[in-house]
Amino acid sequence: MRPTQAPFPATRLRRLRKSEAIRSLVRENSLSPADFIWPVFVRDGEGVSEPIASMPGVHRLSVDLVVKAAQEAFALGIPCICLFPYTDPSLKTEDCAEAWNPENLSNRATRAIKAAVPDMLVMTDVALDPYNINGHDGFVENGEIVNDRTVEALVKQTLSQAEAGADIIGPSDMMDGRIAAMRTALESDGHTNVLILSYAAKYASGFYGPFRDAVGASGALKGDKKTYQMDPANSDEAMRLIERDLMQGADMVMVKPGMPYLDICRRAKDMFGAPTYAYQVSGEYSMIAGAADRGWLDHDKVMLESLMCFKRSGCDGVLTYFAPQAARLLNG
């Protein structure tokens, strides 16, 4: 039902915009550091901070510097950090065994963060692409990304991350049936409190390019990911995928990318009411950061505006590379 209002001049909507005090009083959505999950890239070494050319201001960090970054983020009020490993090419294989190695980069970083900042939530990525010589999220057999064998491997990766102390598992692979398999394995192994934040509606998007540079997957990828990631033209399918993952045991769901898919965020929140997140992906970040570097945009203003749009679309939070910068601004 549409609310009724008196005709002009009894109703002057500009009255509600007259001053910052009034605007803050009637503001419908708010943004705080507690809304952010900060994705970070981990690499081998010590004391290493390696710039990523396609993501201005973002670096690959060695484990010791990731721990320092987590401490700083926690002090800013950011509750969660999400780890993405830059795997040495020599460790990428057909069988992807490094994905569940207890001593892989992701697991070492998880243990180090939890030891230094126990209350900082650590989210990990479940997919084979950082470890796959073919660059795909699943095993490749005769040119096909196979589903069921991949799910078995993803379960091993999930348990390895849970054992390392991950609080939130983030399956980004888009294989069928993986949430049920992961939830069953976590329950059976006693990891009953580990959360699953499912990449439930992950689109086969062109916005991932800088991320693939960041994790070293660009050169390895053979073909594309259209047989398992979603067609950007589809919306109803996203609702079916989100419903499926929730029914299989996901605690939270994610839409990826973010801003080009705000309609999906809104539909998901309205339809299911579950904790809903969006990933402001690398391409979205780089467009804003790159344009701001050239003086084409006001960096801080556009950054906060872009983050607010996720809250307005119904998201409970957002994964964003802007997290520390935004948190500093919001903290004054």
Return the active site residues. 202, 256
Q: How far is CA 95 from CA 124, 138, 218, 292, 309, in A?
A: 20, 10, 19, 42, 41
Closest CA to 280 of 299, 251, 307, 252: 307
Could you give the CA distance from residue 238 to residue 229 in angstroms, rounded to a whole number? 11
Contact 265, 278 (CB under 8 A): yes
Q: Give the position of tokens 């705000």.
A: 262
- Residue 11: φ, ψ to 5°: -105, 115
φ/ψ of residue 83, rounded to 5: -100, 135
Q: Alpha helices, DSSP H only, in the chain?
A: 20-26, 63-76, 105-116, 148-164, 178-188, 209-214, 236-248, 262-272, 282-293, 299-312, 323-330
In whole angstroms, what is the distance from residue 221 CA to residue 247 CA?
32
160-179: burial string, b at 16+ Cβ within 10 Å, e else: bbbebbbbbbbbbbbbeebb
